[in-house]
Amino acid sequence: MNSTSTAQRSQSNSPNESWAKTSAPTVTISSLAPTTRLALRHVHSGGKLPRRAPKINARDIKPGIVATGKSWEITAAPAEHVQPYLDSLAYRIDSDEGSIVFSGDTRPCQSLTDLAKGADLLVMECIKLHDDWKGTASADSETDTWGAGQTAQDAGVKRVLLNHQNLTLEDLIKKTQAIHEVKQFYGGPVLWADELMEVPFE
């Protein structure tokens, strides 16, 4: 009798049963089309049964103001990456604390420069050294050191944070060269993104 009661208690406290008793989580997704279609298609994917399917709040967005709050606003602008196969967006967050622009994957383009005008921080793709980038497929869809520096300079941002670097730039000599190449075009502070890095507003 005791063993049966113990087994029943153990079974009732199983992760699957606990999950089944909880309310379904709400997942909010906002991105370019076909985000809504893809999100709803995969709503029942993953996890272990039995489980509640999450409630999907999906929204396809376009360039322009995409979200606002009491003291913040998010604006999107076209980025040039792999069109016409997929569209890409860069994002700007303006708040009481300052402004941050995320380039995403893109080659240098005027729409990104315009979006980043006067931003406190530009998180900018910097895929390769210029000589390793030119003449490759990356030159049509990614930003190299020269492009990252020129974009930051033309936009007049206060700081630039380089990210999405190719693995070859993990080499200390190439990393140093990459920062040097960016600084040939951009006169402000250049930061190098790393995992779990925190960049406070100044």
Helix (H, G, I), strand (E, B) or coil at 136: coil
pTM of this structure: 0.78
Tens-place pLDDT, residues 132-150 = 898 888 888 999 999 999 9
Residues 44 and 120 in one domain: no
- What is the domain count for the chain? 2
Residues 101 and 44 in one domain: no
Helix (H) or strand (E) segment spanning residue 27: strand 26-31
Mean pLDDT of the chain: 84
Rounded to an integer, the average pLDDT of 102-121 is 96
Domain span at residue 24 reads 1-60
Of 60, 77, 98, which closes a domain? 60
Residues 92 and 7 in one domain: no
Higher pLDDT, 159 or 201: 159
Asked whether the beta carbons of 120 and 99 are under 8 A apart, the reply is: yes
Closest CA to 185 of 143, 137, 135: 143
Q: Could you tell me if residue 167 is inside a domain?
A: yes
Q: For a pLDDT cut of 90, what percent of the chain falls above it?
A: 54
Rounded to an integer, the average pLDDT of 124-129 is 93
